[in-house]
């Protein structure tokens, strides 16, 4: 089948299939005489595997490792579980961090009248005037790569 059908069946866009191939996550697809990529059920399976892993928030790098383990019939399940547990821990850390942000911001928002008057504890809080809030995650940043959720856009 051609890339469009593989995309539909796996739920991975044609764009991303080509991308995964280009970064080496997938072996180069077979080609027909007209240079079109040619996919079979096994390819669709791999793509579906990748999509499910992405849906669980795994990064491309982790997915690469999972795919390798999947292909190795004799791998110890221990290795897979380790990747999963590490990933779960990372997600839980991110969740906790976001919950802190929500808590801090909610505190400020609760203190804000939200009417026509200009006084606003939210802006004051951002400006540094203490509102004795439960302290937000305040320093150091990180470009988290994987809050990737499932959604539109």
Interface positions, 62-91, toward a second copy (CB under 8 A): 66, 69-70, 73-78, 80-82, 84-85, 87-88, 91
What is the total count of residues that contact a second copy (CB under 8 A)? 73
Tokens of 151: 């959604």
**DSSP codes, 62-123:** HHHHHHHHHH-TT--HHHHHHHHHHHHHHHHHHHHHHHHHHHHHHHHHHT---SSSS--HHH
Q: Which of residues 61-80 bind DNA (CB under 7 A)?
A: 61
Closest C-alpha to 58, from 70, 40, 76: 70
Residues 6+ apart with CB under 8 A from 13: 7
Under rule CB under 8 A, residue 55 binds a second copy: yes
Q: Which of residues 89-148 bind DNA (CB under 7 A)?
A: 141, 143, 145-146, 148
Four-CA torsion 50, 54, 55, 58, nearest 10 degrees: 120
Q: What minimum distance in Å lies between the beta carbon of 8 and a second copy?
A: 12
Under rule CB under 8 A, residue 61 binds a second copy: no
Comparison of 36 and 40: residue with beta carbon closer to a second copy: 40
Binding mask 128-147 for a second copy (x = CB under 8 A): x-------xxxxxxxxx-xx
The interface region with a second copy, picked from 1-9, 25-33, 34-42, 106-114 by CB under 8 A, is: 106-114
């Amino acid at each position: 089948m051609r890339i469009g059908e593989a995309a539909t069946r796996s739920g991975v866009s044609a764009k991303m299939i080509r991308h995964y191939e280009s970064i080496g996550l997938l072996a180069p697809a077979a080609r027909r005489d007209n240079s079109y990529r040619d996919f079979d059920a096994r390819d669709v399976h791999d793509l579906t595997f990748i999509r499910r892993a992405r849906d669980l928030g795994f990064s491309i790098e982790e997915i690469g490792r999972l795919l390798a383990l999947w292909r190795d019939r004799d791998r110890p399940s221990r290795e897979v579980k380790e990747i999963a547990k590490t990933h779960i821990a990372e997600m839980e850390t991110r969740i906790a961090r976001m919950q802190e942000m929500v808590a801090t911001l909610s505190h400020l928002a609760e203190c804000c009248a939200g009417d026509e008057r200009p006084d606003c504890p939210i802006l004051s809080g951002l400006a540094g005037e203490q509102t004795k809030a439960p302290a937000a995650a305040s320093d150091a940043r990180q470009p988290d790569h994987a809050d990737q959720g499932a959604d539109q856009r």
